[in-house]
Amino acid sequence: MDLAPTLLAIHGAGDPPESMTGKSLTNLLAGDGPHHDAVLYGYFSREVNMTDGRYTYHRAGAEGSTVHRYFTSYRGMSAEKVAEAELGTHLKWCKGYPHFRIAMQSTRSVDLPGDRVIYDLAADPGQSRPVQDEALDRRLAELMKRKLEEAAAPQCQFDRLGLT
């Protein structure tokens, strides 16, 4: 997410468009302060993960919850699956351009040891001992919610993760 803003900065091409959520890495190369307060990562339909550099936070969707797949091309999809698709302007960042949406079941990693898991990267870089701390869980959940809002995540993400 930071590569395009970095290339724009290196080549003096101006600020990245508002739709880019990344930041130029040039300040890190110059040793000029912090970069992101946290970043989200993960695989489609599974838990949403986040790190703030100190902790990793993994939050699974509720059992039986729904997530949507959004697309503009149905290449490689079955006719039955395409027939289920709903055409609309579902995602804010698509700026009014129509796209398709299909409801799908949330899934979860088989090795995730709970619905909400925290690892302390300083004390446990191998992420083998989950941290049990309700105050930290609340703080990281609020940070995750804010990062999802900043990314203009669809409502189904907040619903399935219990971040409403």
| Of residues 118, 164, 120, the one with CA closest to residue 145 | 164
Residues 31 and 43 in one domain: no
Q: How many domains does the chain have?
A: 3
Residues 53 and 129 placed together within one structural domain of the fold: yes
Q: What number of other Cβ atoms are within 10 A of residue 133's Cβ?
A: 13
The pTM of the whole model exceeds 0.75:
yes
pLDDT in tens, 99-155: 999 999 999 998 899 999 999 999 999 999 999 999 999 999 999 999 999 988 999
Task: Identify the residue with better confidence: 31 or 87.
Answer: 87
CB 144 within 8 Å of CB 157: no
Q: What does the pLDDT look like over 27-68, one tens digit per residue?
A: 777 777 677 889 999 998 999 999 999 999 999 999 999 999
Range of the domain at 4: 1-35
Q: State the Cα–Cα distance between residues 61 and 144, nearest whole angstrom.
A: 13
Same domain, 134 and 59: yes
Q: Are residues 46 and 22 in the same domain?
A: no
3-class state of residue 42 by DSSP:
strand
Residues 30 and 84 in one domain: no
- Alpha-helical runs (H) found in 11-133: 26-29, 79-84
**131 and 82 in one domain?**
no
Q: Which residue shows structure tokens 């351009």? A: 97
Give the C-alpha distances (Å, rounded to integers) separating 60 from 28, 33, 93, 137: 32, 32, 24, 13
Beta-carbon contacts of residue 5 (< 8 Å; ≥ 6 apart): 16, 20, 22, 23, 24, 25
